[in-house]
Structure 1
């Protein structure tokens, strides 16, 4: 925070103008509502000056590992504003949640749900709650509970429920083993991969060793 405010607001924005991806890491201040509010103000300025002013380029706003911050009313209100405003810009927005219960039950959260254009569900334990919060049909619920993934199959796959408007379905994703390992984050498997990487210093070789 001290570093950010050594320079004025315009200087900070100028230093970000040529970046294709900007990441704001808020984990260190996730329990401090005041600092979160200040940082969200800076994020809002960045979005408006870099993404929304240039409508010729499509911008994406993505909130990940953000559930704990949503418990603060000021943070939730700011996210609601982004969801409402993004439709008028050439932009898209999304939030990743482990469970729909991480989104509070109040009018602000309902507004976020109502302004959600697409719903992706990889797997969950609370399908009925997802159905209730998003006003899904019984047919959509049956599709949700049909989701399966099998990473130990001869051809590993995962399935995802996708809904856009009133159109929804379950889709299967199969990838080559090289892609599977490139995006592997599961604890033990990832650690084994990283051990091979430290041995050879080449991720492609480390992945090939995992496959063999």
Structure 2
């Protein structure tokens, strides 16, 4: 049993739990040919699975994996199902035998080491579920997708691999969906994208997304997260016309570094430092700085009690929402409406 599929309104939701792990199948083509982009993304994934962060791959290893993928898809007959398991079996048998016939040396491509390191993703291995999905395979036309990865954000193997696959899914959408606005929002994924292979993805994404009628958005609570990787810093900041900042009071004594990093003017700095300093008494709202090119302003963000209760992250408030929902038979909408009425002083 796993929670991976479409909600009642058609969104694609993916929540990782130990009993319901996320499953992908990057080898599935959905009836489309193996184009260069797809082939490159699978090679990037296989190299990320095989090599450690501090290991580099040789040209011969890259060519060997490319040849293996090409030969694998040519070998598939009618009724054969492409997935990691079938690719692993092909490499273990036909491709390994072909390397031996051609006299490929171990120093050029160590097929035994390649198979040994990737075995955990094969049938019976610790991560055999990850790359062998048989459901929800073609996500190209899915309009809204959410991947919740909190439960694996500290996993040294799963988190970077899953993040890499998610990036590949979006880049495929970006390039193949013509005339459709695309957006990716990356929140708190810095542990994965700060790695060299992932940073290159981010660099490519930010430099090309607008050409494909798309937008890339990153959200972080710490600016230091962005500048931890020189590649990411240059790719994101140099290609982001729109900057949105919340209250920066806690950074007042070290804001010079942030100002220089983001290229803020003196006027913009003063606007940011004024956030929430003179809010109107009796009104519950927060202010936000939005800079779009040379134009910048501070805006008031004020939402209805219903909206506030829907999105609050305060634990005590979330508990009240859940308790009220239970009083209405688990109906979250009615629970929020009842709490909102209380906040407004209305009589239920």
The answer (yes or no) to whether the contact 2:242–2:292 under 8 Å persists in 1 is: yes
Higher alpha-carbon deviation: 41-50 or 56-65? 41-50
Q: 1:49, 1:102 → 2: CA distance?
A: 26
The answer to whether residue 70 in structure 2 is matched with residue 51 in structure 1 is no
Q: Deviations over 1:83-142 (max 9, x none)?
A: 111121100010000021111345311232111121111223335133121110111111
Asked if the contact 2:160–2:192 (Cα under 8 Å) also holds between the matched residues in 1, the reply is no
CA contact (8 A) 2:24 2:137 kept: no
Can you list the C-alpha shifts for 1:129-175, whole angstroms capped at 9, x where unaligned? 33121110111111111111899964321111001112111011222
Give the alignment's TM-score, normalised by structure 2. 0.54
- Is the counterpart of residue 210 in structure 1 residue 339 in structure 2? yes
Separation of aligned partners in 2, 1:2 and 1:69: 17
Matched with 2:208 is 85
198-207 or 56-65: bigger deviation: 198-207
For residue 203 of structure 1, report the CA deviation from its aligned partner. 2.4
Q: For 1:155, which of 283, 295, 309 is the aligned residue?
A: 283
Rounded to whole Å, the distance in 2 between the matches of 1:32 and 1:208 is: 39
CA contact (8 A) 1:123 1:147 kept: yes
Of the structure 1 ranges 119-128 and 57-66, higher mean CA displacement relative to structure 2 is found in 119-128
SS in 1 for 2:171: helix
Root-mean-square deviation (CA, aligned residues, Å) is 2.8
For the pair 1:18 / 2:141, whether they are aligned, the reply is yes
Name which one, 1 or 2, has greater alpha-carbon Rg.
2
Question: 1:188 offset after TM fit, Å?
Answer: 1.0
- Structure-2 separation of matches of 1:90 and 1:149: 38
Partner of 1:118: 242
The residue aligned with 1:102 is 225
For the pair 1:42 / 2:165, whether they are aligned, the reply is yes
Structure 1 residue runs without a partner (length 5+):
none
Alignment match, 1:135? 263
5+ residue gaps, structure 2, are 1-20, 31-132, 343-348
Distance 2:312 2:163 in 1: 31
Aligned mates of 2:23, 2:335 — CA distance in 1: 38
Would you say how many aligned residue pairs link Structure 1 and Structure 2?
Answer: 211
1:199 paired to 2:327 = yes
- Number of the residue aligned with 1:182: 310
1:17 partner SS: coil
When structure 1 is superposed on structure 2, of 7-16 and 39-48 the one drifting more is: 7-16
SS of the aligned residue for 2:29 comes to helix
Structure 2 equivalent of residue 69 of structure 1: 192
TM (norm. structure 1) is 0.84
Distance 1:24 1:208 in 2: 28
Distance 1:2 1:26, change over 3 A: closer
